[in-house]
C-alpha cells in the first residue's frame, strides 16, 4: 500500500503569507485608505505571493461550500472597501487564469467591493490536493453544513479514489465518522434540504435512513422539524414505525423494501470494513446478485486483497 500523505489539518496558515492589504480609494467616504505596498507580480516560477487581477480568478469546481450568507458577504465587502483585503487568497495557475483553492468568500466580497486586483498566494497543486486543501480549510473554520461535508467526502472518494480511512487521516476524524457522514448522501432530496438548511441535524438525518420509504421518511422528517424532536426522540419514533411497517406490509413491494434495506446496511458495514464503496445488486433470479467493490488504483486494489486475506497463486 502506498505511504499515506501527512494530514492537511495542521499548518494551513503556513501556506498563506502574512496579512497584506490592497490599497483602495476612500471613494469620498472620508476614511483614509490603507497605506501598504501591494505584493509584487507573479514570479517567473509561477509560485509565491503576488497581486493578480480579480477577473482572472475562477471558483474551485471542488469547493465544498455551496451556501454563502449574503448578509455576511455584504458586511465583508463593506469592510474591504474601507480597509482593503488583509488576507490573501490561495490560487493555482490554470489555462484560463487562476483557480481558487482557499478564500472564495474573500474573492466574492472583493469583487463586490469593486477591487480590480487582490493579493494571492500562488501554489503548484494537482486536482486532488486542491480539493483536499479546500475541504480542510472549510472544516477548520466549521463553515460547512452536514450535507456539504458529506458531498465533499464523497467527492474525495469518487473523484480521487480516497478510502474512508485516507479521508479520515486528512481531516482528523475517525474512519467511522467519515463513513457516517458520507451516508447522508443516501437521503432523499427533501430530507437532505432540511439537514442542509439546519432544520435537522446530521444525527436526525442518519436516524431517518432506517426508513426506506421516501414518502414516510420525509413526513417523519418534517414532523421532527416542526415538533423540535431530539435525535433520541426521532430514533424512538423510527423504531416504533418499523414494526408497524413490517406487520402491515405483506405485499411484494414491502418485501422488496425490507430486502433492499438489509442489503444497504450490509453494503455500508462491508464498505466501512474495507474502506471503500461497496454495492450489493440483486439479480432476477431469487437469491442471486452481484457484490461490487470499488477500487481506484492498483495500490488500493492490493490493500483490498490484503484486507480480504487473499493471496493469488504465483
Catalytic residue positions?
Answer: 104
**Cell triple for residue 79?**
469592510
Q: CA 23 to CA 85: how far, in whole Å? A: 8
304, 293 in Cβ contact below 8 A? Answer: yes
**Cell triple for residue 11?**
499548518
3-class DSSP string for 127-139? HHHHHHHHHHHHH
Q: Look at strands 117-122 and 89-94 and give their pairing.
A: parallel
| Residue 204: exposure state from Cβ atoms within 10 A (0-12, 13-18, ≥19) | buried
Q: CA 233 to CA 286: how far, in whole Å? A: 37
Give Rg (Cα) of the chain: 24
**Cell triple for residue 126?**
494537482
Phi, psi at 124, each rounded to 5°: -95, 100
Amino acid at each position: 500500500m502506498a505511504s499515506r500523505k501527512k494530514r492537511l489539518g495542521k499548518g494551513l496558515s503556513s501556506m498563506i503569507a502574512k496579512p497584506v492589504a490592497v490599497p483602495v480609494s476612500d471613494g469620498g467616504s472620508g476614511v483614509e485608505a490603507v497605506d501598504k505596498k501591494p505584493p509584487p507580480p507573479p514570479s517567473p516560477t509561477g509560485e509565491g505571493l503576488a497581486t493578480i487581477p480579480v477577473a482572472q480568478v475562477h471558483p474551485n469546481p471542488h469547493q465544498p461550500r455551496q451556501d454563502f450568507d449574503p448578509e455576511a458577504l455584504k458586511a465583508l465587502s463593506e469592510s474591504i472597501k474601507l480597509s482593503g483585503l488583509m488576507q490573501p487568497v490561495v490560487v493555482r495557475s490554470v489555462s484560463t487564469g487562476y483557480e481558487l483553492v482557499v478564500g472564495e468568500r474573500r474573492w466574492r466580497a472583493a469583487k463586490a467591493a469593486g477591487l480590480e486586483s487582490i493579493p494571492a498566494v500562488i501554489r503548484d497543486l494537482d486536482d486532488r490536493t486542491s480539493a483536499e486543501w479546500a475541504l480542510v480549510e472549510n472544516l477548520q473554520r466549521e463553515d460547512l453544513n452536514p450535507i456539504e461535508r458529506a458531498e465533499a467526502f464523497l467527492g474525495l472518494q469518487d473523484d480521487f479514489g480516497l478510502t474512508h480511512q485516507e479521508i479520515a487521516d486528512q481531516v482528523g476524524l475517525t474512519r467511522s465518522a467519515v463513513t457516517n457522514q458520507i451516508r447522508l448522501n443516501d437521503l432523499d432530496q427533501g430530507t437532505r434540504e432540511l439537514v442542509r438548511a439546519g432544520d435537522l441535524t446530521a444525527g436526525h438525518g442518519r436516524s431517518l435512513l432506517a426508513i426506506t420509504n421516501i414518502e414516510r421518511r420525509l413526513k417523519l422528517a418534517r414532523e421532527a422539524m416542526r415538533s423540535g424532536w431530539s435525535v433520541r426522540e426521532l430514533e424512538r419514533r423510527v423504531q416504533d414505525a418499523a414494526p408497524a411497517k413490517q406487520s402491515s406490509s405483506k405485499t411484494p413491494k414491502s418485501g422488496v423494501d425490507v430486502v433492499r434495506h438489509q442489503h444497504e446496511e450490509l453494503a455500508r458495514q462491508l464498505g466501512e470494513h474495507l474502506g471503500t464503496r461497496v454495492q450489493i445488486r440483486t439479480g432476477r433470479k431469487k437469491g442471486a446478485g452481484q457484490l461490487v467493490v470499488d477500487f481506484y488504483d492498483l495500490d488500493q486494489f492490493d490493500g483490498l486483497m490484503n484486507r480480504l486475506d487473499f493471496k493469488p497463486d504465483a
